Amino acid sequence: MMRKRLLICCLVIVGMFFFTLDSFAAEKWMQGPEVANVKWTVRQGETLTIGLNKHPFTESLRPLIPEFEALTGIRVAYIILPEQEYFEKLLIDLSSGAGVFDVYMTSPMFEWRYQYAGWIEDLWPYYNNPELSDKEWYNRDDFITTVMNANNWDGTIGGGMGTGRWNAIPVMVEYYVQAYREDLRKKWGLTVPKDYNEWLDVVTKANEAGGKDFFGIVERGIRSWSTVHSGYFTGFNSWGQKDLNEKLKAAIHTKRAKEFTKIWVKGLQEAGPPGWPTYTWYDAKQSFAAGRFYMYNDCDFFAASYEDPEKSVVAGKVGYALPPAGPDGRIVSNMWTWSLAMSSLSKHKEAAWLFLQWATARKTMIDSTIKHNNFNPTRRSIWNDSQVVEKVRPWGSRPGEYKDVVDVLYDKYGDIRWTPNPDVTTVGDLWCDALHESYARQKSVEKALDDSAKRINRVMKKWRMALGIKD
Amino acid sequence: MRETEANRSSRACGTAAESVEIPVGEGLKGWSKRVKRKIITPKSIPYLLYLPCFIVTVGILYPFFRSVYFSFTDYNLTYRTASFIGLENYVEMLISSDFWNSVRVTLTYAFSATTIELALGFAMALLLLKPIGGRTIYRAIILLPFMIPPVIEAIMMRLMLAPVIGVVNYLGSFVGMPRLGWFGEANTAMFSVVLIDVHNFTPFAAIILLAGLQSLPSRPFEAARVDGASSWFIFRKLTLPLLKPVIYVVILFRLIESLIMFDMIYAGTKGGPAKATMSLHVNAYYHAMRWTMMGEAFVQLVILWAVVFVCSFIIVRAWRRALGKRLI
């Protein structure tokens, strides 16, 4: 009997020991960098220069940088530029071999070009170096799989995403939703569009109901791939369409592609503001927050601005819904993720890796989300953290609406819809011309898409030749 | 052991010190005098005087010829290729409707901006010539837009002409002006960018023309007035012909500047919408700095250079002729 009790006691003690050990291990990755088995001060005294885009993520990172400097003794200098200027300045830095930036903000669409040009460092060797990384503390598996995979590419033109080189670490992710004025929807008896014909109907009615200084719809419009990327590509892909086909030829001018584009352009012409092609995402966001538009099919995370009463007159009046479905009921969303990458030209690569590891660790990222509004987080544990859930709960026409919508996008509908290739932004820019030309009524939608397709085919010709793809 | 090393080093120092004592200064002076005598000869002086100019010319021409060479290659920053492909880039460009659109846009922009600036500048110069009170203050005020950097001017105007939140449409609504898209509509974008060019550079034309008007000889004008010539006659038959060289100078500067204009157009419209303001320079920028297609970009810049060269050549020839006539 005594022996039996002793045995049970021993078993309980051993069990408790393993339980404690397990919970200890589980908690390590949730703690700050001081518990990590990383020699943070190994590059003390060095100075890093970081290239940052003017973006809410940047604003969330800046206040935290002194913590990194105190932890490592590495000085951090940064350059912040508006998006277009940023990418151009970065291109000059990388292509000229100047190597001013040790770390820079980027995204998979740009990584594909930089990888071919040899301007971006593969992060695997640094991650696998036990002197520089603590895998258990870093917990790479906590990142949302599609988002992390988007930053891995094996260089296959037309595929290969999620394997091969690890180019960058995602720091925020955005999907494309319908953000609309719930208060006006109720007032005017409108529905939340379930498909694109309904979408056209709703935004046109809202435009009519809103009067002279109010418009039914706004979308980003400048001559750039980004105009194609968000709401437009989301709808385009929900109609089952792709940018390029398997022969790497433009597929933007199929019958269905033209049908969808007609609806989109008509919406902008009939319910959009005059001068749509001057709108950047930033202008459109500000104008929506100023109460000038009924709907904006763009980034979900703009909710953080819309719902901030200091920055917005529509706080508490906005509803969020999944993008409308295509004719077959298919719902998708394109995805964009800002990531941090290391320049191949950097002279401080180990210091740069320490920065990347610190900036994307759970502790830093949860601080950037909770304290400084970095949405949407790329780590699942942060998105599901009770404080984050509580923070986003009021966003939407009902409690928890925003979270519910983004949850589905994270898990089911959101992914990068572009065909991986280094010239993807060129393809997007040329595609955007078709939207502008048809919006300006210079050409019919059919002709504009046909013309852009020809131009895209000229750009992609070298890849078809290199890969031996016959027309 | 230490002492030995110290001794050695002290000896070494001593040797070095001894070698310094050689009258190097005088030797150098003598050497430089001999060299000067040999190099600076009456025959070589013209060449030596030309040398700095030659270095500057090479400094300018080397990048130019390098660009011309790259226009015959498939130079791409991403793939770091620069293989010679002959006239392929030129042929592709010449059969491309985008290229011809850019040529049309460049010429439309340059000629309309120059014409308007010249006309308005002339009018302003004539007004400023009148002996009115506070003339010097007006002259200073009129120069203000010219002091604004073109990019700042474009950004400022973009805000003022914003279709929904811009002040111009807002104020226009009080007088029944329809809401215009300005930079955002294909049919008004060119007008809008020309407008900011005119606002920025008309003072330049006005000041040069004013200086020209002030430098005209007074005797022919006095004689014409004594003969009872009308103001219009004097303007047509005296002012304009005598001012022709100055007018050509204004045209030369403004036309070249407008043909190669980049910052105002890019900051205002980025070449859009629907390529309505896609000048050669902006198009070349897209090819080079967004798409990394340097070969194609250089083709457009070389052609732009040729257009500028031909225009400048014609204007300079006309200027010389006008100057010659005026001297006669």
pLDDT value of residue A67: 97
pLDDT tens-digit series, residues A377-402 = 999 999 999 999 999 999 999 999 99
- Given a cut of 50, is residue B4 above it in pLDDT? no
Q: Which residue has the tokens 């003969």?
A: B227
With CA atoms as reference, the chain B residue closest to A90 would be: B289
What sections of A73-127 are H helices per DSSP? Answer: 83-96, 108-117, 124-127
d(CA B313, CA B317): 6
Q: Which of A225, A157, A223, A217 is nearest to A190 (CA)?
A: A217
Q: At what angle do helices A108-117 and A424-439 cross, to 10 degrees?
A: 130
Residue A427 contacts residue A463 (beta carbons within 8 Å): no
A160-217 confidence digits (pLDDT tens): 999 999 999 999 999 999 999 999 999 999 999 999 999 999 999 999 999 988 999 9
Predicted confidence band at B40 (pLDDT cuts at 50, 70, 90)?
confident
| Structure tokens belonging to residue A243 | 């940018």
Which residues from B are below 8 Å from A113, CB to CB?
A: 78, 292
A219 touches B at CB < 8 Å: no
Q: Which residue of A has its CA nearest to B186?
A: A440
Residue A10 confidence (pLDDT): 60
Question: CB of A88 within 8 Å of any CB in chain B?
Answer: yes
CB A448 within 8 A of CB A431: no
Q: What is the pLDDT of residue A13?
A: 63
Which residue in A356, A361, A347 sits closest to A47, CA to CA? Answer: A347
Distance CA B278, CA B265 (A): 8
Rg from Cα positions in chain A: 24
Enumerate residues 294 to 333 of chain A having a beta carbon within 8 A of any beta carbon in chain B. Answer: none
Contact B108, B191 (CB under 8 A): no
Q: Does A278 touch chain B (CB under 8 A)?
A: yes
Q: Is B274 within 8 Å of A436 when comparing Cβ atoms?
A: yes
Q: Is the dihedral of CA A107, A288, A377, A383 positive or negative?
A: negative
When CB atoms are compared, the residue of A275, A433, A437 closest to B185 is A275
Q: Please check the confidence at residue B132 and state whether its pLDDT lies above 90.
A: no
Mapped onto helix, strand or coil, the DSSP state of residue B245 is helix
Q: What is the pTM of this model?
A: 0.87
Helix, strand, or coil here: A328?
A: coil
Given CB atoms, is A447 within the 8 Å cutoff of chain B? no
Q: Is A360 helix (H, G, I), strand (E, B) or coil?
A: coil
pLDDT of residue B11: 44
Residue B328's pLDDT is 57
Alpha-carbon span A468 to A302, nearest angstrom: 44
| C-alpha span between B186 and B164 (Å, rounded) | 17
Q: Which of A94, A227, A278, A455 should one mutate to test binding to chain B, selecting the residue with the greatest count of B CBs within 10 A?
A: A278
Q: Nearest-CA neighbor of B102 among B269, B283, B272?
A: B283
Q: What is the mean pLDDT of each run of 10 residues along chain A (471 residues)?
A: 63 56 64 93 96 95 97 96 91 92 97 96 97 95 96 95 96 98 97 97 97 93 94 97 96 98 98 93 93 96 94 96 97 97 97 97 96 95 96 95 96 96 96 96 97 96 91 73
Tokens of A376: 């949407």
Across the interface, of B79, B181, B286, the residue whose CB is closest to A275 is B181
Instruction: Please give the pLDDT value at position A14.
Output: 59
Q: What is the pLDDT of residue A26?
A: 56
Tokens, residue A219: 């979308």
CA-to-CA dists, residue A221 to A217, A318, A417, B56, angstroms: 12, 22, 19, 45
Question: Is pLDDT of B6 > 50?
Answer: no
Q: Which of A351-355, B99-103, B107-111, B179-183 has the lowest mean pLDDT?
A: B179-183
Are the beta carbons of B287 and B296 closer than 8 angstroms?
yes
Close Cβ partners of A183 (under 8 Å, ≥ 6 residues apart): A317
User: Which domains can be identified in chain B, with CATH numbers?
Assistant: 96-327 (1.10.3720.10)
Please give the pLDDT value at position A58: 96
Distance CA A58, CA B260 (A): 36
Nearest to A356 by CA among A162, A173, A146, A140: A140
Give the whole-angstrom CA distance, residue A388 versus residue A378.
13
Verify whether the Cβ–Cβ distance A117 to B187 is below 8 Å.
no
Q: Cis omega before residue A421 (within 30°)?
A: no
Is the backbone peptide bond immediately before B150 cis, with ω within 30 degrees of 0? Answer: no
- Residue to mutate among A93, A223, A288, with most B CBs inside 10 A, is A223
Radius of gyration of chain B measured on its C-alpha atoms: 30
β partners of residue A179: A296, A320
- Closest CB to A277: pick one of B78, B164, B184: B184
Model confidence pLDDT, tens digit, residues B222-271:
999 999 999 999 999 999 999 999 999 999 999 999 999 999 999 999 99
CA distance B292 to A251: 23
Chain B hits for A87, CB-CB cut-off 8 Å, are: 290
Q: What is the pLDDT of residues B45-100, one digit of tens each?
A: 889 999 999 999 999 999 999 999 999 999 999 988 889 999 999 999 999 999 99
A373 and A310 Cβ atoms separated by less than 8 Å: no
At B268 the three-state DSSP class reads: helix
Distance of alpha carbon A401 from alpha carbon A306, whole angstroms = 14
State whether B184 and A274 contact (CB < 8 Å).
yes
Helices B294-327 and B240-259, interaxial angle, to 10°? 170
Q: What's the pLDDT band for B124 if we cut at 50, 70, 90?
A: very high
Which amino acid is located at A231 in the chain? G
Q: What is the pLDDT of residue A75?
A: 97
Residues of chain B positioned with their CB less than 8 A from the CB of A92: 289
Structure tokens at B180: 């215009």
> What is the mean pLDDT of the segment spanning B284-300?
95
pLDDT tens, A83-137? Answer: 888 999 999 999 999 999 999 999 999 999 999 999 999 999 999 999 999 999 9
ipTM of the complex, rounded to two decimals? 0.86
CA distance A26 to A432: 47
Write out the H or E segment, with its range, that includes residue A215: strand A215-218
